[in-house]
């Protein structure tokens, strides 16, 4: 049995939290009088909190003081945390646990590669933390996706070459990061948005165990 490295993004891949990030950013943008729709939101998926606020401000041609900037970051995170405060296993996306179990049964190393500083809290809330051999999140990196840093650190922690890693991602920036890292990118979402991924599936229900085995043996 070959040994690959399977790296999962968190928000929008393992758990259905992308919608809460969207709601919290939309609320903040509205307060600033900046246009913010699903279209703009696609460009924030996978992107760090700081970088996201920078982007929103630039779309509105606004500059603000450093203090106000951190205040807004804080406010966004408070809103986000209130949305996820009652989160439990029900927010795990369909068939994620099947895929994780199948990888485990095949002795494959599994990592989390997320931009979120809330990643560990969320994995605790949905009781999935034990499923990961390595967890790399927004607290461990200095460069936001599409920089490949988060995935390269994950590969290193799994002790697997980047070329032997497979990344599951729902964001434009994350697929780009995986491609730059020379990893196989699997887009979870729409073909219109994730066309640059090596494979694209609507969600994990479309990925069968044989596909996973092919990835392991390729
Ligand atoms: C990514 C999300 O996973 O994490 C982004 O796709 C989010 O929407 C980013 O902004 C940072 O998350 P957090 O929890 O640190 O604000
Ligand atoms: Mg994501």
User: What percentage of residues in the chain have a pLDDT greater than 90?
Assistant: 98
The confidence score (pLDDT) of residue 54 equals 97
Give the pLDDT score at 188: 98
Greatest distance between any 2 Cα atoms in the chain: 55
Domains and CATH numbers, the chain: 5-15+89-217 (3.40.50.1000), 18-84 (1.10.150.240)
77 CB near ligand 1 (under 6 Å)? yes
The rounded distance, in Å, linking the Cα atoms of 179 and 162 is 10
Residues with catalytic roles: 9, 11
Instruction: Give CA separation, 3 vs 33, 83, 103, in Å.
Output: 50, 38, 10
pLDDT of residue 119: 98
Decide if pLDDT at 1 tops 90: no
Query: CA 16, CA 32: separation in Å to the nearest integer?
Result: 26
For residues 171 and 46, is the Cβ–Cβ distance under 8 A? yes
What are the tens digits of pLDDT across the range 141-192?
Answer: 999 999 999 999 999 999 999 999 999 999 999 999 999 999 999 999 999 9
Ligand 1 in reach of 118 Cβ (< 6 A): yes
Average pLDDT of every residue of the chain: 97
49 lines ligand 1 (CB under 6 A): yes
How far away, in angstroms, is 105 Cα from ligand 1 center?
A: 30
Distance CA 128, CA 93 (A): 12
Q: How far is the CA of 173 from the centre of ligand 2 (A)?
A: 9
CB 179 within 8 Å of CB 196? yes
Q: What is the pLDDT of residues 67-107, one digit of tens each?
A: 999 999 999 999 999 999 999 999 999 999 999 999 999 99
Ligand 1 pocket residue status of 189, Cβ below 6 Å: no
45 Cβ inside 6 Å of ligand 1: yes
Identify whether the C-beta of residue 126 lies closer than 8 Å to the C-beta of residue 87: yes
- DSSP character at residue 164: G
Compute, in angstroms, the gap from residue 211 CA to the centroid of ligand 2: 22
Separation of 47 CA from ligand 1 center, angstroms?
Answer: 6
Distance CA 100, CA 69 (A): 38
**Structure confidence at residue 47 (pLDDT):** 95
Nearest CA to ligand 1 atom 13: 116
The pLDDT assigned to 82 comes to 97
* Kind plus residue range of the DSSP H or E element containing 59: helix 49-59
Identify the band that residue 65 occupies on the pLDDT scale cut at 50, 70 and 90. Answer: very high
Model confidence over 35-57: pLDDT tens digits? 999 999 999 999 999 999 999 99
DSSP helix/strand/coil, 215: helix
Nearest ligand to the C-alpha atom of residue 145: 1
């Amino acid at each position: 049995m070959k040994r690959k490295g399977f790296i999962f993004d968190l928000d929008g891949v393992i758990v259905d939290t992308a919608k809460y990030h969207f709601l919290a950013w939309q609320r903040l943008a509205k307060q600033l009088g900046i246009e913010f729709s699903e279209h703009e939101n696609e460009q924030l998926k996978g992107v760090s909190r700081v970088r996201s606020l920078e982007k929103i401000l630039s779309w509105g041609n606004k500059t603000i003081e450093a203090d106000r900037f951190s205040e807004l970051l804080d406010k966004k995170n408070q809103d986000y945390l209130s949305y996820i405060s009652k989160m439990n296993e029900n927010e795990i996306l369909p068939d994620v646990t099947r895929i994780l179990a199948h990888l485990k049964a095949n002795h494959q190393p599994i990592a989390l590669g997320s931009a979120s500083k809330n990643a560990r809290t969320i994995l605790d809330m949905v009781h999935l933390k034990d499923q990961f051999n390595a967890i790399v999140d927004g607290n461990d990196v200095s460069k936001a996706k599409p920089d490949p840093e988060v995935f390269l650190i994950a590969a290193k922690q799994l002790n697997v070459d980047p070329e032997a890693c497979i990344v599951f991602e729902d964001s434009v920036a994350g697929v780009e990061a995986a491609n730059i890292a020379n990893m196989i990118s699997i887009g979870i979402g729409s073909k219109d948005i994730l066309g640059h991924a090596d494979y694209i599936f609507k969600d994990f229900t479309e990925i069968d165990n044989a596909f996973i085995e092919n990835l392991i043996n390729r």
